[in-house]
A = this chain, B = another copy of it.
């Protein structure tokens, strides 16, 4: 017959799925009762309503059932006290979360120009990647004009985890963090000068428990000042998706962003042209509302492929306004996602990064 020790040994090999340390090591294993073929264990979650709790229970079940002669496993849940958390993780410090994050690819969505659809492209990419089976996060680096929470239909509050803030989960499973989720109301202005803006962005990296991600997409604000500088210089970005629109005015400003990317040495993985045309629902005719495309010249300058040309579509605008960017279905997205996946350089090893400054 298996023993209590065998159960404890089995649990010492079960890792917290985001903290990457064993439940025993994290002092999450509490009572363990063994009676005939039945096992009852109590696991202390690090925070109440831990978003990983179902996964943890399943992993515990699997590990104990793997022991010979186990007939029944019951898992009770409790939550650590603040003192217990402190004894395991230490005093919360800046950058503590970053140590637990394992991000395989960090991609910035950039434009230079405002209102071209960076957040829409970020939302479409994130959704497509999740549907393709990847773990995806979106870091909203637009501190003063954030669109991401509204696009995904999310609002605060944000909960604190044992080592940092916990991102929200969208309906499709994208992890989302935006400074706007930390504000009291969504239309409260952030009237800050640049250095604080940069600091807010590094905090969204340092102090958020992103956990394991195949892709973390960073939605940049317009311009080539603080937010772009901090993101491209302080975060380990390994690719940029450049968004443009057909207006040659936009193209000129997007070229500035391309030049900035070249100055800081971050490769551009592709160009997306948004608002390329409007198809009249009555006649089916395509209207080049914002003029002929300039995507090819931007792509040539960026030395990157055109990933997609997205139409102007009232249904897209309506879904975005309803917080349902994940319900947007566009054939253009399906066709771009393969090129995107191939174009994003894979890292030699997952980024397991300490805090940045």
Contact = CB atoms under 8 A, between A and B. Distances in A.
By size class, the interface of chain A is: 35 or more
Contacts of A256: 144-145, 187-190
A221 interface: yes
Interface in A86-126: 112-116
B188 A259 contact: yes
Interface stretch (A58-66, A130-138, A246-254): A246-254
A178 to B, nearest CB: 12
Contacts of A190: 224-225, 256
B278 A289 contact: yes
Interface stretch (A5-13, A38-46, A313-321, A347-355): A313-321
A317 to B, nearest CB: 5
A290 to B, nearest CB: 5
A54 interface: no
Copies assembled? 2
A273 B260 CA distance: 32
Contacts of A112: 144-145, 189
Interface string A266-304: 000000000000101111010111110000000000000
A217 interface: no
Contact of A225 (B197, B228, B280): B197
A193 B194 CA distance: 6
Given A144-B223, A145-B256, A191-B229, A318 B291 contact: yes
A290 B317 contact: yes
A167 interface: no
A257 interface: yes
A82 to B, nearest CB: 34
A287 to B, nearest CB: 7
Nearest to A113: B145
A226 interface: yes
Interface of A: 112-116, 143-147, 150-151, 186-195, 197-198, 221-226, 228-229, 245, 247-250, 252-253, 255-257, 259-260, 263-264, 278, 280-283, 285, 287-291, 312, 314, 317-318, 320-321
12 contacts: A113-B145, A147-B249, A147-B253, A186-B252, A190-B256, A191-B260, A191-B264, A222-B223, A249-B321, A280-B283, A281-B287, A289-B317
Given A145-B224, A189-B263, A280-B287, 11 more contacts: A112-B189, A115-B115, A144-B224, A150-B249, A191-B224, A191-B225, A193-B226, A247-B321, A249-B320, A280-B280, A289-B312
The 6 A-B residue pairs with the shortest CB-CB distance, nearest first, are A114-B114, A115-B115, A194-B194, A187-B255, A144-B223, A189-B256
